């Protein structure tokens, strides 16, 4: 990172251990909104005095780095996210020998979903578990990094770092969970044309496909889907895995669970303030990189059993699973892929992404052809 880039990145006093706003810096418990707001008044009053007494130059090796993590999906009923976040916080502290302490903030507490990317870049939060689709207005290609519907997951991490770096954000790792993008609906859906006239929560190319079939897109945070359906702001939504839908009790307001998932593996991410990362000594940088990659494995492993239990909870709660027929799925997959290819030259960085995904698509077909198991 150049000196000029460093000067352009705004960051709060978190790197030196001040970390205002965390009511218990050594705790691994997530912070909810009420506790955070109650503690903020005291923290702000003392911030100026703490800054005056801060050494101009501190040895990075001797610091205790107190980092604020904004999780976009903890505290809203998703078991796999809650458990994986706690494991991450504990692991960072253990691997760093106590030199890094992370406080997790539940969804919408420190930063709203739409504020997360910019908030990490400016240092309001040091870390975030989020989705690239939420910052598509800042990094337009983020809308397509999240998912090309029905497309197999591939690794574009080297490219994502280059896209995020100008915004003061470090891409640490992906967060790949089990199926995501399954849909719930207040009406039965047997073909995509059935979405005509419905108000649906969806993003990216999948939203384009639903609009193509006559739906209207309404944007609400994932944690507010229940209320939005209950109050008829939405008729259907793409957001969760079975674990998420069950944890949020969507069976209480939606009768139909539309399958299969449009995103076989959800591709979210862990990001960090770039200036803070660069100021860390190399061993602690490696702690952050390694811990986030293990977090990815934690979540991938957790979502398989939690989703299996989630499906049962939804069925026991009266939700009917509806499977889209193969001809509808093939039609949707072809349309979405061609829509993706049509973006060539129209979005910054999209051409490289198309190149990577095209190659991965061919490899995926060659790999799964001879490995297909009997059903």
Domain identity same for 17 and 111: yes
Beta bridge partners of 65: 100
Strands 183-185 and 127-130: unpaired
Q: Provide DSSP, 21-52.
A: T-S-TT--SPBPHHHHHHHHHHHHHHHHHHHH
Domain identity same for 129 and 161: yes
pLDDT beyond 60 at 186: yes
Give the residue with greater pLDDT, 19 vs 141: 141
Residue range 67-82: mean pLDDT, rounded: 94
Residue with tokens 């030199």: 99
Structure tokens at 68: 């604020």
SS (H, E, C) 202-269: CCHHHHHHHHHCCCEECCCCHHHHHHHHHCCCCCEEECCCHHHHHHCCHHHCCCEEEECCCECCEEEE
pLDDT beyond 90 at 30: no
Predicted confidence at residue 192, as pLDDT, reads: 96
pLDDT digits (tens, 9 = 90+) for 263-313: 777 788 999 999 999 999 999 999 999 999 999 999 989 988 999 999 999
Domain identity same for 92 and 229: no
Q: Max Cα separation, the chain?
A: 69
Domain count, the chain: 2
Domain identity same for 79 and 205: no
Structure tokens at 292: 């986030």
DSSP state of 62: G
Measure the CA–CA gap between 75 and 105, rounded to whole angstroms.
Answer: 9
Question: Could you tell me how many helices (H) and strands (E) the chain has, helices first?
Answer: 13, 11
**At 224, which CATH number?**
3.40.190.170
**Is residue 361 one of the residues assigned to a domain?**
no
**Is residue 348 one of the residues assigned to a domain?**
no
Give the residue with greater pLDDT, 242 vs 54: 242
Residue with tokens 């190149």: 355
**Is residue 372 one of the residues assigned to a domain?**
no
**Which residues form the domain of 241?**
183-264+308-342
Domain identity same for 155 and 202: no
Q: What is the pTM of this model?
A: 0.77
Domain identity same for 18 and 115: yes
Domain identity same for 216 and 316: yes
Domain identity same for 258 and 153: no
**Is residue 355 one of the residues assigned to a domain?**
no
Domain identity same for 271 and 338: no
Give the residue with greater pLDDT, 53 vs 194: 194
pLDDT digits (tens, 9 = 90+) for 237-273: 998 789 999 999 999 999 999 998 887 777 889 999 9
pLDDT beyond 90 at 155: no
Domain identity same for 280 and 150: yes
């Amino acid at each position: 990172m150049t000196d000029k880039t460093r000067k352009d990145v705004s960051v709060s006093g978190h790197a030196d251990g001040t970390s205002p706003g965390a009511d218990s810096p050594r705790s691994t418990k997530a912070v909810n909104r009420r506790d955070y707001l109650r503690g903020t008044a005291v923290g702000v009053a003392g911030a100026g005095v703490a800054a005056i007494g801060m050494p101009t130059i501190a040895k990075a090796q001797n610091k205790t780095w107190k980092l604020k993590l904004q999780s976009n999906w903890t505290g809203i009923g998703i078991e796999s996210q809650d458990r994986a976040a706690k494991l991450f916080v504990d692991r960072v502290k253990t691997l760093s020998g106590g030199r890094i302490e992370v406080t997790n903030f539940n969804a919408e507490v420190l930063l709203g979903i739409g504020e997360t990317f910019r908030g990490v870049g400016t240092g309001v939060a040091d870390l975030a578990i989020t989705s690239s689709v939420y910052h598509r207005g800042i990094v337009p290609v983020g809308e397509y990094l999240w998912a090309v519907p029905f497309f197999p997951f591939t690794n574009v991490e080297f490219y994502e770092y280059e896209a995020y770096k100008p915004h003061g954000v470090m891409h640490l790792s992906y967060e790949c969970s089990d199926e995501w993008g399954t849909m719930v609906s207040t009406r039965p859906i047997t073909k995509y044309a059935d979405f005509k006239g419905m108000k649906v929560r969806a993003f990216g190319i999948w939203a384009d496909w639903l609009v193509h079939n006559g739906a209207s897109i309404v944007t609400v945070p994932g944690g507010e889907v229940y209320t939005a359906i209950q109050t008829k702001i939405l008729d259907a939504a793409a957001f969760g895995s079975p674990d998420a839908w069950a944890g949020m009790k969507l069976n209480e307001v939606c009768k139909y669970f539309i399958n299969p998932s449009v995103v076989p593996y959800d591709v979210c991410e862990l990001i960090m303030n770039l200036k803070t990362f660069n100021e860390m000594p190399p061993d602690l940088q490696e702690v952050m990189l390694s811990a986030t990659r293990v977090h990815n494995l934690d979540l991938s492993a957790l979502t398989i059993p939690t989703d299996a239990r989630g499906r049962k909870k939804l069925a026991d709660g009266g939700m009917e699973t509806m499977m889209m027929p193969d001809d509808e799925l093939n039609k949707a997959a072809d349309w979405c892929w061609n829509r993706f290819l049509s973006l060539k030259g129209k979005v910054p960085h999209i051409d490289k992404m198309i190149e990577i995904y095209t190659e991965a698509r061919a490899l995926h077909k060659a790999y799964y052809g001879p490995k297909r198991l009997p059903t």
